[in-house]
Amino acid sequence: MRRPALLREDVKMRYSLPVLALALGLAACGSTNDQAPAFRGGAGGDAAYGRGLQALDDGNIGQANEYFACAAQFGGGYEVAWYYAGTTALDLAEAGGPEAEAYREEGVYYLTTSGNAGWGASQAALARYYHDRGNAQEAVYWTMLYTNNVREMSLGLTRMGTGLIADIRDSVPAETFAEIQNRAVHFIPEAIPVGRPGEECNAAIQGNRETRSRRQRPAPQPPTSQPGSQRRQPGSPY
């Protein structure tokens, strides 16, 4: 198992929350299946997710986004699909065009929902995203959640470099930092409920792309963070 990179002592101190509440809350996420759904070539969310990965490898971001959004409709257990649905949507938003803002909104929705469920890759992506857009408070908040994510630490995953963490840490004054820390301490993961895909998603799984609409977004839930945007970060999300 790859060992996590060591943080500078001051970085660790600033992001080690003063109580166990956050760590215990995020530890609950580690009790779920921490592996991405395997592509078995059959029907359902596994098939949609596997086709999304193939489209991503082929460089077809739009098609990948459709498949990942379809897999996300299956709900809990497919948090990695929510992550990819979010990052590919933000890639499409960065490309511009008349639907850029709609893609941006969807990207933040998918990442926020899975981040609130405790998915570390989504938390790290949101931290980078808000930092890039100059939303310092949200960047600090998601960085706190990510750097205290027990599942990520136990797997030795390091999605954010020490330099980036330090930059985000220094982007707010001490008083604001303490307020955000208090907010993070009270974080409780919100599990994504199991879902049932729509007809367009079923058609996509079966290979009938002509009857498939672009958006496969599940029923909206109010995000806990301000809408914003970020590009997909390369690499494995788990």
Residue 135 has pLDDT above 90, yes or no: yes
**132 located within any domain:** yes
Q: How far apart are CA 8 and CA 54, in angstroms?
A: 38
> For 69-81, what is each residue's pLDDT tens digit?
999 999 999 999 9
Looking at the structure of the chain, the number of domains it has is 1
> For 21-71, what is each residue's pLDDT tens digit?
444 444 444 434 444 444 333 457 888 999 999 999 999 999 999 999 999
Domain that holds residue 23: 9-30+43-209
Place of tokens 């996509």: 204
pTM for the structure as a whole: 0.74
Length of the chain: 238
Instruction: Using only the alpha carbons of the chain, give its radius of gyration.
Output: 18
Q: Residue 191 sits in a domain of what CATH number?
A: 1.25.40
Q: How far apart are CA 53 and CA 63, in angstroms?
A: 10
What angle, 0 to 180 degrees and rounded to 10, lies between the N-to-C axes of helices 100-116 and 79-94?
Answer: 150
**235 located within any domain:** no
